[in-house]
Structure 1
Amino acid sequence: MNDNYDVIVIGGGAAGLSGALTLSRARRKVLVIDAGRPRNAPAGGAHNYLGREGVNPLELLRIGRGEVESYGGEIVQGEAVKASGKNGGFTVELADGSTVDGRRLLVATGLTDELPDIGGVAERWGKDVLHCPYCHGWEVRDQSIGVIASTPISVHQALIWRQWSERITFYANDSVELDETQRRQFAARGITVVEGRVRSLDDLNHDAFVVTAKARSNADVLTALGLEVADHPAGTYVPADGEATAIPGVWVAGNVTNLMEQVIGAAAAGVRAGAAINMDLIEEETELAVAQLPA
């Protein structure tokens, strides 16, 4: 790492790398700090990404890193633990104690899935334990699918997954009390309801399972700047106007601010954030240049 950058991007997933690529192509001096823990690493493929349908998530990131570096962007593996400073001058501290300075920040640290305490869920997450039908529905179409409730959102999930298979079983798991309307909807769609708590996936016989994980925004690095997360029915997120946060000079993109964003949407958000950051820098530089003109 060098001492100072135009933009420090925290997070090297689809959003962070897309932002870094946009900024590097804009001839900005960019550093990406990546902890190397992509959320979708357990998945066999990333889907609904036009032109890259089904690509292995880690391969997609490898390609993206190469593209960023081809335009002069720098990438370092490390964990950013704290950001401090103000618009025009930020310092990011890494877990190893090193620091780096930048004029602007783009935070694309994603989220952490907090899985329900059910035996087998963590071990099989991203394989035959799923959450997003648009990411995995085609791969398990027409199979026997058990939807295990943990929040009221699970009811909505069961109805959505019914689009991919007629063999849906809903486990209330002592977490959801279905009302009469919901029971009629399930009956009309042929969704079997099983009451009682689920303790282990080994006790159930299905080809795939669906669970609702609480999505916690990975925003601790922003705490020192005074930026707090907000609550969402599915977890927590960093509020933003578009990609701009309430802290001048700090942008966010991807799942850290939009819990439902898919890979292609996160990449698009990174591009938007990169363009906005570049424009913000141009305005600052233009103002300084005008101030230096002879009277």
Structure 2
Amino acid sequence: MTTAADRIARVSRTYPALLYPDPRKLWGRRAAWVAFVLAFLWASYHLGLSPMRFWTGFTDLWIIARQMVPPTHNGFWLDYLAALLETLAIAFLGTILASLISIPLGFLGARNVVPSFAIHFGLRRVLDVVRGVDTLIWALIFVSVVGLGPFAGILAIALNDTGVLAKIYAEAVENADRKAGEGVRSAGGSGADVARLAIWPQVFPVFLSNSLYFFEANTRSATILGVVGAGGIGFFLADRIRVNAWSDVAFIILLILPTVAAIDYLSRWLRKKAIGRHDAPGARM
């Protein structure tokens, strides 16, 4: 009969570090936790994070929440609806442009398609710079370049998404099964034939799935682009907040939430269809 002492002895022989950890590693972990706590306290002090300010802000938030009830539109519901549709159009067109631009960039950035180190390295660094700038910053830049309106929002979303999608597409191309390409080459196919006949059928579902995911995310992002003048429902949202018309703010939020939820649901279903999971639209996700 195995006793508790036997089991402990067996565990200590199999996993000695579990029962008898290295003192240096133990003190290293303790030092890391102390450093983490000190960094948190230092950041909290310098940024003014305190329970009192939180409680005061929560009290003000409750006052604002009461002013949101009942939601009202004051006769502007058609304007709000048109702006919401404009937001969806900004997200859709921005995602489409980014996806189309990212396809050739993804192939150029893949080592198994373009072996040139200079092209590969240069393209990757440019994409790093593009995606390193937030969509809202690009919107501010394009508002200054092309003026106020949805065109600036479309360009901002398209540019930021291109930096991310092109990298994802390039990695998908690099991970494609090479046996199919070898078969095309053995039949006398060129590099373009390999990309078109062997790689493209493999990576297209991945491309489509990621583009749909970005459309879903861009629908949420586009709602705030109007704050900087890039069109959409964000303009009305910022304007109503600025004049403390909180009942109108609640109405706009109630328009945005179900719209984003519907896009989320539709996008998930289409992504599952794209990768071969043929669930019905009403199936549980």
Tell me the TM-score range normalised by the shorter chain: under 0.3
Which structure has more helix as a fraction of its residues?
A: 2
| TM-score, length of structure 1 as denominator length | 0.24
